Structure 1
Amino acid sequence: MKKIQFLVVLYFLILSTNLKAQDVRFAVNVKSDISAMADDGFNFGFNVEYQMTLFYFRAGFFAFPDLRGKDYLDITGTPLGFNVHLGEHKKLRLSTGLVLGLIIRDKGPHPLVGNEHYFEWYPNGTSNGVYFGLGGNLLYRTDGKVWDNDIEPYWRYSSSIKMGLTF
């Protein structure tokens, strides 16, 4: 009986938390690693994101055609991300989250794990419109042997700039 009471109390706690976790916005964006573009050429990414008051979830990909002679593609997601919306009408956002994914290249796939963090500006606040962001990620990557340099695995920081739309 105590187990059932515990489960009922837990259920109502989760329900009350979910009622407070209001939707803020749904967003899509394109991004690029500008510093890598200067050294290694064209790259781009695309993400879909669901933002709530405290949490966010993201799925996307990043492509780097002909990166040092080998095409690069990663497919990543943020299964748990935290964000803070600041300012009147939530025009500013700070976010950080866990990144999990796969690098598809050469004899892949190669797993990756790490953290992402962003600062974003939403000129229209919670209304639909365009937004801009700066940030990056620190990823533990397992594709080092692709380069024949026996760096397996390794940490890599990448910066990015992004522009998107909210719905």
Structure 2
Amino acid sequence: MISEKDKVRAKKICIHEAGHLITSKLFGFKTNGISILINQRIGHSGEATIILPVANITNNNELIGYLEKRIQILYAGVIAEFTDLNKNFDDSSALIDWKNGGGMVDYAKIRELTHVLRNIKYPKTSEENKQQLELDKLDKVNFANSVQIVFENIREIHRIGKLLSDKVLQYDITYNLTEGELL
């Protein structure tokens, strides 16, 4: 049986994955549910299965739109995890999670995709200080857009996160919430 402490952790992870899932759906990406596995000693793994439409990217404007959506989807997980139903966002805990916690992988992808996005939008900028300003601007806009999406959908995100976390009863078992169960 899973401990109470790990049950609380599982719920946060499920909300995190639901944030990715809902944001993906709003952007028109196909999804295939979410899953979680809690291990008592080594941590957890969670996943929102998102089918990325990369074959449809045929020009720079479509690539820019795709990169912005992916960045916002990646941000949505931690934002959802640290936002309560009253839309209170614990930004200091979120920052810690992006730097040292479960959101590290998402944040590494965010940084990489933001660099690619900057290179496409501002290909002629060569001065390092100006590049950093452009990166900061893109990051700020995508973060703010993701916050808005999560806030507008926080009840549904928490509902889906709870549906999955209520299934988590034991360690070392992968629990899934299928597309059919999301309704």
TM exceeding 0.5: no
Structure with bigger RCO (C-alpha 8 Å, 6+ apart): 2
Q: TM-score, normalising length from structure 2?
A: 0.31
Q: TM-score, normalising length from structure 1?
A: 0.33
Q: Which entry has the higher C-alpha Rg, 1 or 2?
A: 1
Q: Which has the higher helix share?
A: 2
Q: Which has the higher strand share?
A: 1
